[in-house]
Structure 1
Amino acid sequence: MDWRTWHDEYDLPGSWMARRLRAVQRQIRAVLDESPPGPLRVVSLCAGQGRDLLGVLADHPRRDDVRARLVELDPRNAKAAEDTARAAGLTGVEVLTADASRTDHYHSLVPADLVLVCGVFGNLSDEDIHRTVGFCAQLCATGGTVIWTRHRGAPDRVPLICEWFEGLGFERRWVSEPDAGFGVGVHRFTGQPQPLAAGAHMFTFVGYDVLDDVNQSSG
């Protein structure tokens, strides 16, 4: 999978990726709009080119309150995110070219007010999705928000992911409709975050194409 060219579909206005991006951006904007005054911490796992967060921060009144870390393994996507952030003058945004599954990349910015797990769950095994949801309770501050995505194709794991979040003290704020052509979820953490485990591995990024082949062969 070429994850650099994969992002090109975001530029097609009617594509499901473009529509999902707009949905995620609306939710990010709502979180920023509703946040109390003061500094805001944001972390983004497998951030890609950062189009979701950077597209909102560029013209948002809270842009200078935000300190964000975008973690992305593909150096081409990380550079694209870095270039976008610098062009927009977003001095509080850091782009880290690294394995987003490693907890050590987030320690100085958690617990965070906003945790983005977009484009991740569709590329993980069910076990690793569950495991990553558990780590979100360490990444997220009390009252903070997790915005996540997952496709609605078979097997549709969106209802189960909601159950996993809600079983850990997250309150459902919004979930896209089943027929939207994509899945976006927003959960607010009402519990007390535990210290983020040092040196932990949250997930293995398998890739949706590999998982699709596995599901078809097992079906």
Structure 2
Amino acid sequence: MDWRTWHDRYDLGGSWLERRLQAVQSQIRAALDRSPSGPLQVISLCAGQGRDLLGVLADHPRRDDVRARLVELDPRNTAFAGDLVRAADLDQVEVVTADASLTDQYRGMVPADLVLVCGVFGNIADADIDRTIDACSQLCRTGGTVIWTRHRAEPDRVPLICERFATRGFDLQWLSEREAGFGVGAHRFTGEPQRLASGVQLFGFIGYDVLKQANTEADGA
């Protein structure tokens, strides 16, 4: 999968990816709007080109309150995100080219007010989805928000994702309709943040295309 060209579909008017982006941005705005006054910290795992967060921060009233770290492995995507940061004069946004699955990438930024896990759950194994949700109690402050995405193709893991968040002290704030053709969820953390574990890999990024093929082969076995 070429993850640089994959992002081009954001520019196709009316595409499911454009509509998903709009849904994510709407939830980011809502999370920033209800955040307490003062400095805010935001982290984004597998941030891609950062269009979701950067598209909101560019003109949001809280933009100068936000310190953010976007972590993405593909240097072409981080270069794109860096251009967006500079164009919007978002000096407090850090774009890091690194493995977003490693907990050490978020040291000094957690617990955060907003945690973005977009484009992750559809590309990793079920056990890693559980592990990443568990780790959100280390990444998110009490009262903070986690926003995530996951496709609705079979096997549809959106209900299980919501259940897992609930068991970890996260209250569902919003979930996209099943008919939307994509899954976007926002959860508010009501528990106490745990200490960030050092040197832990939360997931292995497999890719939805590889996972889809594996599921097809399993069904035909």
1:32-181 equivalence runs, <5 A: 32-181=32-181
CA distance in 1, matches of 2:44, 2:60: 18
CA deviation map 1:159-181 (0-9, x unaligned): 00000000000000000001101
TM-score of the two chains, using structure 1 as the length reference:
0.99
CA distance in 1, matches of 2:94, 2:82: 8
Q: Secondary structure at the match of 1:47?
A: coil
CA distance in 1, matches of 2:41, 2:62: 12
| Deviation for aligned residue 1:13 | 1.5
Q: Secondary structure at the match of 1:109?
A: coil
TM-score of the two chains, using structure 2 as the length reference:
0.99
Structure 1: unaligned runs, 5 residues or longer: none
CA distance in 2, matches of 1:15, 1:203: 28
CA distance in 2, matches of 1:36, 1:129: 29
Aligned twin of 1:197: 197
CA deviation map 1:146-169 (0-9, x unaligned): 000000000000000000000000
| Deviation for aligned residue 1:50 | 0.1
Q: Secondary structure at the match of 2:198?
A: coil
| Deviation for aligned residue 1:107 | 1.0
Aligned twin of 1:183: 183
CA distance in 2, matches of 1:86, 1:200: 32
Q: Secondary structure at the match of 2:108?
A: helix
Give structure 1 regions of 4+ aligned residues with deviation exceeding 4 angstroms: none
Q: Secondary structure at the match of 1:147?
A: strand
CA distance in 2, matches of 1:194, 1:208: 30
CA distance in 2, matches of 1:167, 1:105: 25
- Aligned sequence identity (%): 71
Structure 2: unaligned runs, 5 residues or longer: none
CA distance in 2, matches of 1:36, 1:127: 34
RMSD: 0.4
CA distance in 1, matches of 2:50, 2:63: 15
Aligned residues: 219
| Deviation for aligned residue 1:16 | 0.5
Q: What is the identity, as a one-letter code, of the residue corresponding to 1:62?
A: R
